[in-house]
A = this chain, B = another copy of it.
Amino acid sequence: MTPATPDRIDTLRIDGMRLLDRLAAMARIGWKDNACCRLALTDEDREGRDQLVAWMKAAGLTVSIDPVGNIFGLRPGTDPSAAPVMTGSHIDTVRTGGKYDGNLGVLGGLEVAMTLNDAGVKTRRGLVVAAFSNEEGARFHPDILGSMVFAGGLTLEEAYGTVAIDGKRYGEELDRIGYRGDAPVPAFEPHAYVELHIEQGPILDIEGVTIGAVRNLQGISWQEVSIVGQSNHAGTTPMHLRRDAGYCAAAIGMELRAIAREMGGSQVCTMGAANLHPNLINVIAARALVTVDIRNTSEELLQKAEKRFADFLVRLASEEKVTITTKSLARFQPVKFDDGVADLIARHARALGLSCRDMTSGAGHDAQMLARMCPSAMIFVPSVKGISHNGAEHTEPEDLEAGANVLLQSLVELAA
């Protein structure tokens, strides 16, 4: 083995078939009813973790587990005193997940390490492949929990006390599956972090672009809005005497669309869930519970949208004589990734002959937590029709391979 040199690294390529085989093998764990269900800290998650750890060890990586269950596979560098470069993502899924969300970042990182092994490439800095716990938040709230603890944004005690939708505690479930490790928190202070991920949106697919160099990530404001009005007969109650929680739910859905349309830019708003009570055709709804998802890449504009929405709720409550209360379910500030890392990603994409564009991430990712610790950015590959969190989630094999090659080149340069 000789130390890595630029002239031979340029021609290095990952093994696409090997990557696809591992993605398929991981997707089979928890696959049922045409989707992947590997909720955090379930038996399926444990099986996925065991498989990953086995692969990491087979690839010669030094595996460590930290107390929140994050898994790290280290490929040492030639300079043990230099901070390692980190890549990774997560292997937990939503209830009806796809094959690539999270897995691509973890198994893409593993593939990079194996490719370097096969080519006998040494890097000055070590390379750490990470699989962070409970990124999806589909079982334990908040989401992005493992990397949040890693980055110091949540204490271990807070994480352990988190209660799942099925009533179980995070700490107990972590013990149950045997993944409460003893690595320090954080286990590493990374020199830089690059995460490969599917876009989970339609932009790259629609534009026919292969690589997104992700420069920022939308801030997210999640609220649950509870409306209490008065149940009454839908035929006998004059319009001016109604205190209709169902109408208020509708008005909220319309206002969210108006906020997004009028603010423009990256502003998106969604009313994804709505539950009326008693939910009968001829009864004015007494109560409604709706969810509100507001995102913007600018913290200032996100706050502006939140303010406008809050003011709207005050007016609506007054006009319809209902009581409206809100509960914040999640609030993440927008994240600005490192331009140096994003430039480097874009440069390597173009050097590989791939089309590339700058991107904003609309979804939350582990990278947003790592960005607090070190220069970070992400690589996106296309999601066909933008479908994600769905068994039909698909990325073309050549795009998966292209993304992993950009990851390879980027990590090697950062580790030099």
Which residues does A use to contact B, with CB under 8 Å?
96, 199-203, 206, 218, 220, 222, 224, 231-239, 241, 244, 246-247, 249-254, 257, 260-261, 267-268, 270-276, 278-285, 291-293, 295, 329, 361-364, 386-390
Contact = CB atoms under 8 A, between A and B. Distances in A.
A254 B241 CA distance: 17
A284 B270 CA distance: 7
A357 to B, nearest CB: 14
Nearest to A285: B272
B283 A389 contact: yes
B220 A235 contact: yes
A297 to B, nearest CB: 11
Residue of A236, A268, A292 most packed against chain B (CB within 10 A):
A236
Given A231-B390, A235-B218, A293-B235, A276 B279 contact: no
Contacts of A202: 232, 236-238, 241
B386 A233 contact: yes
Nearest to A388: B233
A281 B329 contact: yes
B388 A200 contact: no
Contact of A250 (B234, B238, B271, B363): B271
A270 B250 contact: no
Contact of A237 (B231, B250, B271, B362): B362
A152 B285 CA distance: 34
A272 B246 contact: yes
Contact of A236 (B236, B246, B329, B386): B386
Given A251-B254, A276-B274, A279-B275, A235 B364 contact: yes
B257 A284 contact: no
A274 B276 CA distance: 7
Contact of A201 (B237, B254, B390): B237
A385 B58 CA distance: 73
A200 B236 contact: yes
A231 B96 CA distance: 12
A299 to B, nearest CB: 16
Nearest to A269: B239
B253 A281 contact: no
B276 A272 contact: yes
Contact of A247 (B203, B220, B271): B271
B234 A293 contact: yes
17 contacts: A201-B233, A201-B238, A218-B235, A235-B364, A237-B268, A239-B260, A241-B386, A246-B271, A246-B274, A247-B271, A249-B274, A250-B253, A250-B257, A250-B271, A254-B254, A272-B284, A273-B279
